[in-house]
């Protein structure tokens, strides 16, 4: 049975190397690839479930056109599909200009080859596209402003930590391979503190779980800094050499007492004292911040406040210490790294109009003028369920005259399409991918022929370009041909600047990125304007209009604020975390996954439930002025009262997406989506 | 070294297992089960997050016991233990689908496959072992929490709270939670937690349902009646032989109804040396045969009648023993034991009022004590049924027995029968097949009550 080395290209920390066994043109099994030191024990259940996903009878294998009057679709030939697209695109370009076409991509499949989509649209004459990102910009920007660059120690260095703080990250579900290193550190006596409103799987092995009111982590960080400075548990020589703005920071946190923070965050004072004590006295401290915590309206400042804890204690640039948010050392193929790559360009002379904030997708689409949007092309994404404010996004999509969606399955977004194009899976075309938790460059190998009439996107774009009359010579350098050799030549060309990276080597397994710094910032070079760690950032002030020093401000949707305003409705924070069973809205249609996680549930504390007459298993209505969701309630004594939770990624057809209730709003920095600022009512349905 | 000899065992490190279920998915894929199915599963301890109790996960499948109860009790001798690998496997071509092994297994490992109509379970990936590979669940554990190792590993414990302790000597060991990983101190959560009676724990569906196993209820009660009739000379002299034998035949037929493979029913007697189920079937056959001889050939013979009634009561004895494998507490002296039921009806037919009254008192006492125990431990009591059971099974018969005339006797008998039906139905509903799930629920119930 042939065995191939490849890599899981999902938008996930682990980006596992895997070995794929192929039998009679089908995946037989997926096994661990021990060469990847970050994921040597093998992929999670989702990675294993590709055996079902790739050959699922539900896969879309042919172009489908929506029936005239109904929600159904009928199979059409590629010729008909291409003719239809060419006719629609040409007409839109003539009538309104190329910028009336929205090109929307999500994070469904990572890879270098994915960028050919934009090359097509440039050849087409332009389009409109989005800026910002749903996932992580506030944290990236906070890190960039403070440390100059987004990078961190290699994953296996974590076992050298004396204290690990998982701040809003549930690694056991979202980065299971990290728990191996956490456990190793713990075996050697390291302490683990988890800060999360939920009693997560990750919290189970911690000595302390601090459950703050959502959006108040910054206050806790500032109070911990206050204590560390007061107790003189800080690294003065480090500060003098490498930190800019300590005096201003010290001044700012003087009033941030533990009592002040405990009242804001609704946690006991002693828990903040323990946190500070542990940071001061446990040896190397690693703080790993999750992505959920930086999706609030105040979260860039929150993240800056947390990084400051490491800066003032000298926990940067050393083994076992540091700030884990994202390691972008493998972003070697582009010219600009994230988060800069997310920002709209300063001038709009380009053919490509970058004018739609991903965070406000629905509203900005509806607001687009000169020209208005008339066509959308969606690939690698499911914006109907995954972008904030689903009702608005639906309204915007339904207002267009034509929608093309490229997908493997009939997602909620695909259901809205006029034309669905069948998408390849990760096994059906080769590509190069990096990662954001470990430092490997990997080859995602083609191991199967695409089934049915599936065509990889590069092939679709090439064919479309030719049919639109774009000369073949214009395509040569930007969109590869359909043959495997063409794809390999394309990848080889991009590998050329890196002699350490060859396709031959990558075919065997993962390769460490050239120029890797295993212990991030061990050279103490911080590419900030001052060359130091900037607790005082003038760029933060000038670019984002926030205070140059990280200070605590309430998030826009805050129970405390509501209560001060005399809230009688007993609003609840609506947490919408990820689960181990899905990557956003992927995998949930598989039988393998549905057997484990069949229906969306609202997790609620019995206290919050009893005052609303909700029983374990009651049908409830979650609602606010944006929309509503109806699901069953499930009691959990581990969630902080005042918070309810439902995992994101459920399809509307499966019982409702959490984004019916979220609001399209940007984070305080980075053009991220602040959809975790989300207060809801919960009531029992009879 | 991946062969499991008697020295090797699954080693599950509770510190490492996050309950991710990759092992479960890997098992289904490796064994080409329909998507979503698996022979391995996770039973989590404290999924509801009861304060000050840690949450941990038991990744479980067949433990390939050194002394496997499933094998010992299989009436069809369809389960074998490989002397080299130690793997306990079910031969699908011999299995009759009686599900008795699913009662006997204290670890919930054997499950009836309603499509294949036989019982299936983990094979220890014997096909992989023969290639020198570990089982798929072990190979695919993304945290290294599950592996094959030595039984005698010093840090590994033979059991952990929630894992049933039995004499089967299962090939699994647990590395317990470290001192610094016993669950977090929670700061900022709630202290005032309203108590809830039964904490919900996610796991596999229950193994026994009265809805699907009702033929057993009918069969066992009817056998008690038939044995009672055969045991009472006056009754066996007046009974219509054909009616009796047809009823016995129908009972036998009913008892095969729940078999997955009815055409292999004859195999059920193969394990007469070790399985009470085999013995029950053999004794029942002897009972029918000897009853036929007595009723048709030798109706006047006292010896043939006595022999038949002896076989009848021996069948009832075996029948009660069959249920011992579930390890339900209190089964050895239970108000719904068929031996007691048979004796009760027999005494009603023969007529000694003190014996009858004594049996009624005993049964009512056992029944009431059980209900009191249930009420105390928060288990369902079903007050209306309880009332009916006591009224029909105690009050009415005791009143009626004072004037044992024909019509009253029939009414009393009918009342008794109804009471016995209720008791026996509850007996099935309350069977507690020992399993990790039941064990976890029991421990957690104690924590919140």
Name the residue ranges covered by the structural domains of chain A.
64-125+341-425+453-480, 138-329+521-544, 568-684
Residues A270, B186: C-beta atoms closer than 8 Å: no
Alpha-carbon separation of residue A70 from A66, A73, A417, A418 (angstroms): 7, 8, 12, 11
Nearest chain B alpha carbon to A182: B16
Q: What is the pTM of this model?
A: 0.94
Tally Cβ neighbours within 10 Å of residue A66.
17
ipTM exceeds 0.85, yes or no: yes
Q: Which residues of B touch A607 (CB under 8 A)?
A: 190, 192-194
Give how far A24 is from chain B: nearest CA, Å.
Answer: 15
Contact A183 B143 (CB under 8 A): yes
Contact residues for B157 (Cβ-Cβ < 8 A; gap 6+): B173, B174, B175, B176
- Which of A48, A590, A637 is closest, CB to CB, to B140? A48
Residue that the structure tokens 């049919």 belong to: A467
User: Domain spanning A568-684: which CATH class is it, in words?
Assistant: mainly beta
Nearest CA in chain A to B141: A41
Q: Does B187 sit within 8 Å of A640, measured CB to CB?
A: no
Tokens describing residue B255? 């008892």
CB contact under 8 A, A42 and B193: no
- Touching check for B52 and chain A: CB below 8 Å? no
Helix (H, G, I), strand (E, B) or coil at A398: helix
Mean predicted lDDT score pLDDT of chain A: 96
Looking at the partner chain, which of A49, A204, A594 has a beta carbon nearest the beta carbon of B183? A204
Q: Out of B20, B35, B188, name the one closest to residue A210 (CB).
A: B188
For residue A197, the chain B residues in CB contact (below 8 A) are 188
Residue A14 near residue A44 (C-beta atoms within 8 A): yes
* B9 Cβ contact partners less than 8 Å away, ≥ 6 residues apart: B63, B148, B149, B150, B151, B156, B170, B171, B172, B173
Q: Which CATH architecture has domain A64-125+341-425+453-480?
A: 3-Layer(aba) Sandwich (3.40)
Q: Which residues face A42 on adjacent strands?
A: none
Q: Among all residues of chain A, which has the CA nearest to that of B14?
A: A205
Low-confidence ranges of chain B (pLDDT < 70): 1-6, 191-207, 403-404, 449
Same fold, A138-329+521-544 and A568-684: no
The size of chain B, in residues, is 449
Cα separation, A650 vs A632, whole angstroms: 14
In chain B, what residues touch A266 (CB-CB under 8 Å)?
188
In whole angstroms, how far apart are CA B85 and each of B3, B9, B39? 5, 11, 18
Chain B residues in contact with A595 by the CB 8 A cut-off are 35-37
Q: What pLDDT, on a 0 to 100 scale, did the predictor assign at position A92?
A: 98
Q: By CA distance, what is A588's nearest residue in B? A: B36
pLDDT for B237: 86
Could you give the residue ranges of the DSSP H alpha helices within B180-266?
Answer: 210-231, 233-238, 241-257
DSSP A423: P
SS3 A65: strand
Give pLDDT, residue B432: 85
Residue of B15, B186, B195 for testing the chain A interface, max A β-carbons within 10 Å: B186
Residue A241 confidence (pLDDT):
98
CB contact under 8 A, A179 and B200: no
With an 8 Å Cβ cutoff, is B198 touching chain A?
Answer: no
CB–CB of A546/A540 below 8 Å?
yes
Mark the ranges of chain A whose per-residue pLDDT is less than 70. Answer: 346-349, 568
> Which residues on chain B are in Cβ contact (under 8 Å) with A212?
188
Domain A138-329+521-544 in CATH 3.40.228.10: yes
User: Which residue on chain A is closest to B144 by alpha carbon?
Assistant: A41
Q: Which residues on adjacent β-strands are paired with residue A323? A: A287
Measure in Å the smallest separation between the Cα of A111 and chain B Cα atoms: 24
Nearest to A326 by CA among A621, A13, A611, A548: A13
Nearest to B192 among A30, A268, A607 (CB): A607
Distance CA A347, CA A493 (A): 30
Tell me the β-bridge partners of A433: A442
Distance CA B322, CA B278 (A): 9
The 10s digit of each residue's pLDDT in A154-177 is: 999 999 999 999 999 999 999 999
Of the candidates B183, B184, B190, the beta carbon closest to that of A641 is on B190
Dump strand ranges (E) for B138-257. Answer: 146-150, 172-175, 185-187
Record the tokens describing residue B271, joined without a space. Answer: 């394990």
Q: What is the three-class DSSP state of A74?
A: strand
Beta-ladder partners of B356: none
Of A204, A270, A639, the CB nearest to B54: A204
Chain A environment of B33 (Cβ under 8 Å): none
The closest alpha carbon to B237, from B307, B304, B299, belongs to B299
Chain B nearest-CA distance from A165, in A, is 13
| Nearest residue of A to residue B140, measured between CA atoms | A42
């Amino acid at each position: 049975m042939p065995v191939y080395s490849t890599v899981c290209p999902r938008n996930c920390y682990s980006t596992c190397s895997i070995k794929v066994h192929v039998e009679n043109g089908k995946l037989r099994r997926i096994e661990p690839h021990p060469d990847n030191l970050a994921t040597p024990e093998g992929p999670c259940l989702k990675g294993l479930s590709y055996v079902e996903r790739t050959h699922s009878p539900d896969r879309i294998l042919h172009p489908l056109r929506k029936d005239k009057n109904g929600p159904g679709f009928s199979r059409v030939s590629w010729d008909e599909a291409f003719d239809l697209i060419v006719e629609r695109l040409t007409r839109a370009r003539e009538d309104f200009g190329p910028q009336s076409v929205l090109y929307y991509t999500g994070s469904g499949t990572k890879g270098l080859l994915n960028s050919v989509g934009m090359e097509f649209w440039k050849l087409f004459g332009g389009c409109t596209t989005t800026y910002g990102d749903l996932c992580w910009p506030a944290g990236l920007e906070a890190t960039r402003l403070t440390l100059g660059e987004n990078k961190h120690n290699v994953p296996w260095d974590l076992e050298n930590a004396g204290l690990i703080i998982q701040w809003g990250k549930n690694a056991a579900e979202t980065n299971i391979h990290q728990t191996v290193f956490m456990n190793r550190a713990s075996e050697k006596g390291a302490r683990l503190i988890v800060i999360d409103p939920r009693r997560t799987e990750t919290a189970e092995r911690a000595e302390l779980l601090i459950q703050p009111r959502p959006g108040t982590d910054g206050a806790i960080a500032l109070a911990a800094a206050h204590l560390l400075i007061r107790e003189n548990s800080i690294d003065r020589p480090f500060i003098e050499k490498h930190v800019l703005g300590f005096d201003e920071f010290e001044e700012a946190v003087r009033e941030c007492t533990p009592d002040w923070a405990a009242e804001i965050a609704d946690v006991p004072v002693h828990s903040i004292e323990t946190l500070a004590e542990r940071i001061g006295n446990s040896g190397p401290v690693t703080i790993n911040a999750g992505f959920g915590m930086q999706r609030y309206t105040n979260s860039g400042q929150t993240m800056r406040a947390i990084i400051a804890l490491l800066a003032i204690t000298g926990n940067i640039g050393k083994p076992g210490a540091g700030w884990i948010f994202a390691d972008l050392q493998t972003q070697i193929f582009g010219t600009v790294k994230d988060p800069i790559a997310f920002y709209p360009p300063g001038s709009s002379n380009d053919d490509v109009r970058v004018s739609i904030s991903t965070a406000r997708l629905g509203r900005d689409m509806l607001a687009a003028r000169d020209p208005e949007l008339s066509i959308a092309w969606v690939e690698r994404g499911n914006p109907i369920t995954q972008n904030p404010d689903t009702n608005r996004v639906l309204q915007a999509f339904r207002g267009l005259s034509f929608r093309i969606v490229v997908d493997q399955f009939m997602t909620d977004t695909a259901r809205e399409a006029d034309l669905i194009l069948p998408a390849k899976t990760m096994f059906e075309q080769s590509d190069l991918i990096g990662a954001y938790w470990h430092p490997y460059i990997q080859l995602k190998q083609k191991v199967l022929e695409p089934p049915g009439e599936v065509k990889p996107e590069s092939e679709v774009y090439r064919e479309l370009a030719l049919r639109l009359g774009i000369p073949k010579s214009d395509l040569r350098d930007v969109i590869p041909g359909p043959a495997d050799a063409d794809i390999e030549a394309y990848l080889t060309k991009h590998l050329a600047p890196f002699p350490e990276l060859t396709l031959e080597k990558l075919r065997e397994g993962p390769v460490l990125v050239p120029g890797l710094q295993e212990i991030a910032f061990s050279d103490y070079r911080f590419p900030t304007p001052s060359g130091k760690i900037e607790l005082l950032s003038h760029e933060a002030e000038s670019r984002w209009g926030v205070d140059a020093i990280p200070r605590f401000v309430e998030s826009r949707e805050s129970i405390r604020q509501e209560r001060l305003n005399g809230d009688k409705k007993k609003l609840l924070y609506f947490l919408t975390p990820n689960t181990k069973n899905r990557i956003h809205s992927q995998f949930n249609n598989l039988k393998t996954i549905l057997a484990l996680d069949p229906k969306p549930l609202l997790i609620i504390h019995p206290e919050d439930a009893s005052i609303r007459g909700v029983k374990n298993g009651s049908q409830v209505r979650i609602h606010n002025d944006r929309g509503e969701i109806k699901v069953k309630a499930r009691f959990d004594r581990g969630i902080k009262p005042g918070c309810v939770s439902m995992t994101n990624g459920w399809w509307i057809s499966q019982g409702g997406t959490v984004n019916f209730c979220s609001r399209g709003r940007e984070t305080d920095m980075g053009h991220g989506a602040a959809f975790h600022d989300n207060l809801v009512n919960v009531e029992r349905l009879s | 070294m991946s062969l499991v000899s008697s020295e090797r065992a699954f080693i599950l490190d509770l510190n490492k297992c996050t309950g991710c279920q990759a092992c479960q998915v890997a098992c289904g894929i490796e064994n080409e089960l329909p998507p979503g199915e698996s022979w391995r599963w996770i039973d989590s301890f404290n999924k509801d997050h009861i304060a000050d109790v840690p949450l941990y996960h038991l990744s479980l499948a067949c433990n390939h016991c050194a002394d496997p109860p499933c094998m010992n009790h299989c009436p069809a001798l369809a389960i074998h233990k490989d002397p080299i690998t130690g793997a306990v496997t079910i031969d699908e071509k011999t299995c009759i689908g009686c599900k008795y092994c699913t009662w006997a297994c204290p670890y919930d490992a054997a499950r009836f496959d309603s499509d294949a109509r036989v019982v299936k379970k983990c094979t220890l990936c014997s096909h992989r072992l023969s290639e020198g590979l570990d089982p798929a669940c072990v190979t695919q554990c993304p945290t290294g929490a599950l592996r094959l190792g030595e039984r005698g590993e010093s840090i590994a414990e033979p059991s952990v709270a929630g894992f049933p302790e039995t004499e089967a000597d299962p090939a699994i060991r647990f590395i317990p939670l470290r001192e610094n990983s016993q669950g977090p101190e929670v700061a900022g959560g709630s202290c005032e937690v309203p108590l809830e009676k039964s904490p919900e724990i996610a796991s596999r569906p229950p193994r026994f349902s009265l809805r699907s196993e009702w033929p057993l209820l009918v069969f066992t009660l009817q056998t008690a009646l038939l044995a009672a009739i055969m045991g009472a000379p006056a009754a066996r002299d007046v009974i219509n032989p054909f009616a009796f034998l047809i009823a016995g035949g129908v009972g036998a037929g009913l008892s095969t109804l729940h078999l997955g493979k009815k055409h292999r029913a004859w195999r059920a007697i193969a394990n007469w040396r070790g399985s009470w189920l085999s013995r029950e079937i053999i004794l029942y056959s002897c009972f029918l045969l000897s009853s036929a001889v007595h009723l048709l050939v030798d109706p006047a013979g006292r010896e043939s009648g006595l022999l038949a009634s002896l076989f009848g009561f021996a069948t009832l004895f075996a029948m009660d023993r069959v249920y011992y494998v579930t390890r339900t507490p209190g089964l050895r002296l239970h108000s719904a034991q068929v031996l007691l039921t048979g004796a009760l009806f027999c005494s009603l037919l023969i007529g000694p009022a003190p014996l009858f009254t004594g049996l009624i008192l005993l049964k009512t006492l056992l029944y009431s004590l059980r209900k009191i125990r249930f009420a105390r431990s928060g288990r369902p009591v079903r007050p209306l049924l309880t009332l009916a059971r006591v009224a029909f099974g105690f009050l009415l018969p005791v009143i009626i027995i004072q004037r044992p005339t024909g019509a009253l006797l029939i009414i009393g008998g009918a009342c008794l029968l109804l009471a016995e039906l209720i008791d026996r139905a509850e007996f099935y509903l309350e069977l507690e097949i020992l399993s990790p799930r039941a064990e976890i629920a029991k421990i957690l119930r104690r924590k919140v009550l």
